[in-house]
Structure 1
Amino acid sequence: MSRSSRRSFLKRSLFAGIFTGISAKSYRASFAAESPSERVRVGMIGVGNQGGPRNNMKYFLPNIEALCDVDSGHLDAAGAFLQKEADRSVMMTDDYRRLLDSNDLDAVVVTVPDQWHALMTIEACQAGKDVYCEKPLTLVIGEGRPMIDAARRHERVVQTGSMQRSGLEFQFVTRLVQSGAIGKVKVVNVTLPGPNWIDRAKHPVPNSPPPSDLDYDRWLGPAPMRPYNRNRVHYLFRFYWDYSGGQQTNFGAHHLDTAQWGLGMDDSGPVSVEGTAVYHPEEWYETPDKADMRYTYANGVTMNCRQIPGLESRKQGTEFIGENGSVFVWRGGVEASSPDVFKSVEVPAPLVRKGAVVTLPSEEKRFANYAHVNNFLDCVKTRETPAADISIGHRSATVCHLGNIAVRTGKKIHWDPETETITGDPEAAKWLMKEYRAPYSLT
């Protein structure tokens, strides 16, 4: 597929809403058949879990030219996967700065714990690299604006890994809401799952020396020095405040992002938030077991965000309630209050409508992941704005963080989305930034 036809296909299928029935497998193949001169050369920073063979490495496979991880076990497994699936070896290192210094890379994929997102993204922009940074974009709100400034100053393409932006069902529902199909939106309900720390860790373990295959000091980076505990690192990092914000910033970075998108608030946000949370009774991890938050927007829309343990995936998502009906979107489909809601907007293939429910065929399950990655790769070439531009990632992460600030302080937080400040409460405003461990600095 030529550069111009690839660009045309992306614009048609991902932005204009005229979807085709192309399968995920065919979609991958069409974009993999590029000449070496057209191929975007990518370095992967963080190749365990989300950044590893089962996730991001699959989606970037034809473009990978370097691998980096401070865990040698993850690095070895990633190298073996690349050798098996692509029949080639690439530069492998435990120092991400080698990737930034390389003239053989066009872009980097940042898939590391959240405390590293800002520093790595800013340094990559300064080094002339485009960036695909996993969600949530930031650990704290105050990191977002410096990241955007770096991207703009150095004219870099930065995509946030909120891949629902490239999901067919999510594109359809936001277009539906913005078309007025349910009338003026009054309420938005966002439902998130509870933590899966116990599923992964089972039970607490004592602190111990870090394993020899992990450079723990560099894994921590700007986060505070703590004794090593295997139940705080790798996937489980997301349930400790030093490194992340629990399911509020994990799944919230998807479903709250969809709410912002549908409400047309990509360059704004709520004006207040309050809420409560319930934590593990023995404090096995730090982020909430349950949470109930209420956001208010300047236009009168109320958004309720609830974190519910044991919530099945079909119930996790975003519901828009308007004057004339409602729609709920989850990963896999859209359900309306009535079939009439779908009358004003054509349901595009490959989505399938049956009454008041629209579903995505199971064979298209990973379409959003491949589409989101290929949108980024195409924008690296065209220099166009990606589907989840860094500014969008910042605004959506801000909504997530404001909810956490409200439940952690026990206060109603008043937010000015224009100046991006917490107003009337200097103590609460301190939560907008976090002190970095020396010698790390955001500046």
Structure 2
Amino acid sequence: MPRIDQRGANRRAFLRELGALAVAPWVVPAAALGRDGHVAPSNRITLGFIGVGFMGQRHHLSRFVEYPEAQVLAVCDVDRWRREHAQATVETAYAAQRTAGTYRACAACNDLRELLAREDIDAVVIATGERWHGPATVLAAEAGKDIFVEKPTSLTIDESLAMVQAVRRCGRVCQTGLYQRSAEEFQLACRLVREGALGKIERIYVIMSGTSSEVELPAEAVPDGLDWELWLGPAPWRPFNKRFHQYGESKSVVPWSFCRDFGGGSLTSNTVHAFDVVQWALGMDESGPVEIVPPETGLYPDLTFKYPGGVLVHVVDQRLDPSKHVVPNGWDELTSIQNFGGVFVGERGWLHVGRSGYLTANPSELVANGPGPYDRFVALRRHQRDWLEAIRTRRRPSCDVAVGCQSTIVAHLGCIARWTGRSLTWDPAGQQFLGDEEANRLRRRALRQPWRV
């Protein structure tokens, strides 16, 4: 478009220039106008990513750059390789969508405070380790950002409660990464349980009961390009060891989870998905179990949660053992219980749901018209886009922060029962253990300065 310089143009030249503008074709790309399936830039939700390792890069960033209703403006990671790789992922994806074939507008930083200070970012995806989930969520809410935070939502019970309070106080939309809430198979299974298709639920079997422990690993040289102080963040200081963090491309989801300073082991990293399904199916999204019994007591062979009404949730090994468990009629003892799901046993039958790709029941007619094989990536996309739609409409998403935090608290309860080695009575309304000060102290941990929740 010609530039009009009124200071140097006489009246006649100025009028000629205006006339030329009036008749010259002015071509505006369809994407800029929101036509032909495009979303106009002014209507896109602008995103920043905090943590771009295994989950942040592979599961989230690689998909959000495909959604026309969103635009990634910045990435943040304390690992330089991951940060630069994520930046390249964004710019390559957007360059391919542009007529010019180039795009160089994704910022990269290693300190989340720098990203959160940007006024042009609407929302953030937090996919760090859980040591950061609580503080990062609170900081993001206070910075006016909507939030998608990965599971487990927190490192402690008190952090989960603080996250809910911050999100509500700041009026933000917060989705948690328990994305089976967006999977048709799990939706059907939980609906059948809630509607009484199995009669009164008596027990539920889920798998993976491992917890973290206190560990001491030898100090190793911090890789060039890794900000170890910021990696630790609010967690206690300890020397770098590659078992905590694999510099560069991430080969596993939660390598740090075996260490109690950084995680809770399988119960919080994996079984939290199954606990979320249990909470959902039992209609306990605002409550939880009332007693937790670890196997060390000898009362049950496995970690067991007692829910109001007498429902028992047993965290078992891969299969049901007739010598230890009540095996429901029609159940094949050689069948492995599926990851991240469970077996719901009621008065009138059982139902088995999980991520292995099948939904089964006895009687089989219960799921005869069920959805096709489970596809986690379809469910994940639905979950991500449900968050974007919730931001647009200002409704609560399918796994709101209060729901996801309550399911994470169930995992924390199991960890604390295993660590203390005794039965614990839990008050879901007061969010505290009854008559056990040691267990109550384990609801929280001190954070390194200057971090807080």
Asked whether the two chains share a fold, i.e. TM above 0.5, the reply is yes
Q: Provide the residue aligned with 1:284 in structure 2.
A: none
Q: Provide the residue aligned with 1:285 in structure 2.
A: none
* Structure with bigger gyration radius: 2
Higher mean C-alpha displacement, 396-405 vs 75-84: 75-84
**Aligned pairs (5 A) from 1:38-437:** 38-52=43-57, 54-61=58-65, 62=67, 63-87=71-95, 88-89=103-104, 90-192=106-208, 206-233=218-245, 235-276=254-295, 292-306=302-316, 308=318, 314=338, 317-331=341-355, 332-342=357-367, 347=370, 351-352=371-372, 359-360=373-374, 364-437=375-448
Q: How many residues align?
A: 377
Q: Give the fraction of aligned pairs with identical amino acids, expressed as a percent.
A: 36
2:263 match: secondary structure: coil
Partner Cα distance (2:267, 2:206) in 1 = 11
- C-alpha displacement of 1:81: 1.7
Relative to 1, partners in 2 of residues 1:338 and 1:308: Cα closer, same or farther, differing over 3 Å? closer
2:125 match: secondary structure: strand
Unpaired runs of 5+ residues, structure 1, are 1-30, 197-203, 278-290, 353-358
TM-score with structure 1 setting the length: 0.80
TM-score with structure 2 setting the length: 0.79
Relative to 1, partners in 2 of residues 1:193 and 1:34: Cα closer, same or farther, differing over 3 Å? farther
Relative to 1, partners in 2 of residues 1:315 and 1:369: Cα closer, same or farther, differing over 3 Å? closer
- C-alpha displacement of 1:193: 8.0
- C-alpha displacement of 1:82: 1.8
Unpaired runs of 5+ residues, structure 2, are 1-35, 96-102, 247-253, 320-334
Question: RMSD in angstroms over aligned alpha carbons?
Answer: 2.4
Kindly indicate whether structure 1 or structure 2 has the higher relative contact order, using CA contacts under 8 Å at least 6 residues apart: 1
> Deviations for 1:307-364, whole angstroms, at most 9, x for unmatched residues?
559x978465211111111101011221102223247xx53xxx13xxxxxx33xxx4
Amino acid at match of 2:237: M
Partner Cα distance (1:439, 1:429) in 2 = 24
1:366 match: secondary structure: helix
Relative to 1, partners in 2 of residues 1:323 and 1:394: Cα closer, same or farther, differing over 3 Å? same
Indicate conservation of the 8 Å contact 1:372/1:387, yes or no. yes
Partner Cα distance (1:118, 1:395) in 2 = 14
Relative to 1, partners in 2 of residues 1:301 and 1:312: Cα closer, same or farther, differing over 3 Å? closer
> Deviations for 1:4-56, whole angstroms, at most 9, x for unmatched residues?
xxxxxxxxxxxxxxxxxxxxxxxxxxx9842222211110001111111x211
Partner Cα distance (1:115, 1:213) in 2 = 21
Q: Provide the residue aligned with 1:283 in structure 2.
A: none
Indicate conservation of the 8 Å contact 1:59/1:369, yes or no. no
Partner Cα distance (1:98, 1:216) in 2 = 17
> Deviations for 1:117-138, whole angstroms, at most 9, x for unmatched residues?
1111011111110000000011
- C-alpha displacement of 1:233: 2.2
**Where has structure 1 moved over 3 Å in runs of 4 or more?**
193-196, 311-316
Relative to 1, partners in 2 of residues 1:213 and 1:292: Cα closer, same or farther, differing over 3 Å? farther
Partner Cα distance (1:307, 1:99) in 2 = 42
Indicate conservation of the 8 Å contact 1:194/1:308, yes or no. no
Indicate conservation of the 8 Å contact 1:181/1:342, yes or no. no
